[in-house]
Amino acid sequence: MANLRTIIKHGAVYGAEIEDIAIVDGRIAERAKSITPNEGDIVINAEGLVVAPAFVDVHVHLREPGYGYKERIATGTMAAARGGYSTVCPMPNLNPVPDCVENLKVQQDIIERDAKIEVLPYAAITIGRKGEELVDVASLHDKVCAFSDDGSGVQVDGMMERAMKEAVKYDSLIAAHCEVEELLKGGYIHDGEYAREHGHKGICSESEWAQVKRDIELAEKIGCRYHVCHISTKETVQLVREAKARGVKVTCETGPHYLIFTDMDLEEDARWKMNPPIRSAEDRAALIEGIKDGTIDMIATDHAPHSVEEKSRGLKDSAMGIVGLETAFAALHTHLVKRGIISLEHLIKVMSINPRKVFRIEGGIEVGERADIVLLDTNKEWRVDSNNFYSMGKITMFDGREMTGDVVMTLHRGEIVYDNKTK
């Protein structure tokens, strides 16, 4: 008996016309104008929908182990599936910190038990993310997607240099949260007009771009693959653009909120508090230009759930971070694609194609690839209601906003992990 297939019919396939796709044993077996189902085949009607490679988020916080009251791997990966993601990469600000094989295994055991999609963890760059002692890269490099001390920048130049020299031996990626701590000076939102008008302490742009500049110089000297996390300033965009032109192995990401809002959209509410902060209109314009010209390789949410209590202390005293997995596509489609700033194809490129290339992650819609697929309804109009989130985190500035475009179904390894067709 022939292997039973899953057949996606009549969808507008990314990069092609209306096509059918047949999936066998978790991989794309065939693409054709029309594929006739056999008895027993699962048939998914994608008429009126866009069929694309499922999204990849290289920057999420799933909070386990150590902080399961904020989010769990089970809830975070279900939120990701609802957002159209088949792969997420969780950052290492956990307890225990994944800074050795034993600590990493604590996280991997939970992933194996609870994850709804593929989860590829980071290892820390330094022991305990304290910036004082380098992890054993040799023992970790083949078990993680990259190395990062996310949540804090590596402050000592020599430590980052040693990290890159070790990483290059194994062709590993260093992903940096860039932040010069001595420049923060107690700031918690962008050092701009809103901060001045409302008496808040600001975070200057230099605290980000100065460390990016240092790291690019190191990466250029050493030949290391270097990825800048959640860039937010116009200066950072230009530094990356110039480095790429010189052939430096540098890539970067930004988040949806930096492309949509400016500091003048802020309110006295912790929904607007994250790190780095939402910056000026000039910065947003530079980020959008960076997306358009390819300087910015990908969009990642920095999904950072906290408890309601941790986010109820106002703009000044609340924890940094918002959730983003369940709204990213809709928000970006509404604000960038519908307004003609970028094409749908380009949005899919920065949410799926590019992160897969940079982080060497399987999956797609070509014959032979692992069947990681998202079905998108680009015309659906809906209102964000955080009460309906799968994530335990409910804090987002998109709550109550009208969106156009949504995820209908997500498949990972050919299996349906999220299905909104019946809702």
- The catalytic residue positions are 302
d(CA 128, CA 132): 9
Strand ranges (DSSP E) for 42-128? 42-45, 50-53, 55-60, 85-90, 118-119
d(CA 206, CA 223): 25
Backbone angles phi, psi at 113, to 5 degrees: -80, -40
Beta bridge partners, 19, equal 11
Among candidate residues 130, 127, 138, 210, the one with its CA nearest the CA of residue 172: 138
3-state class (DSSP) for residue 386: helix
State the angle between helix axes of 157-169 and 206-222 in degrees (0 to 180), rounded to the nearest 10: 40
Two tokens, residue 68? 């399961």
318 neighbors 270 (Cβ within 8 angstroms): yes
Q: Residue type at 422?
A: T
CA angle 196, 202, 203 (to 5 degrees): 150
CB atoms within 10 A of CB 229: 23
Strands 85-90 and 118-119: parallel
CA angle 359, 360, 366 (to 5 degrees): 125
Two tokens, residue 57? 């988020």
Beta bridge partners, 32, equal 20
DSSP-derived letter for residue 126 is B
d(CA 262, CA 318): 20
d(CA 272, CA 275): 10
Two tokens, residue 406? 């949504």
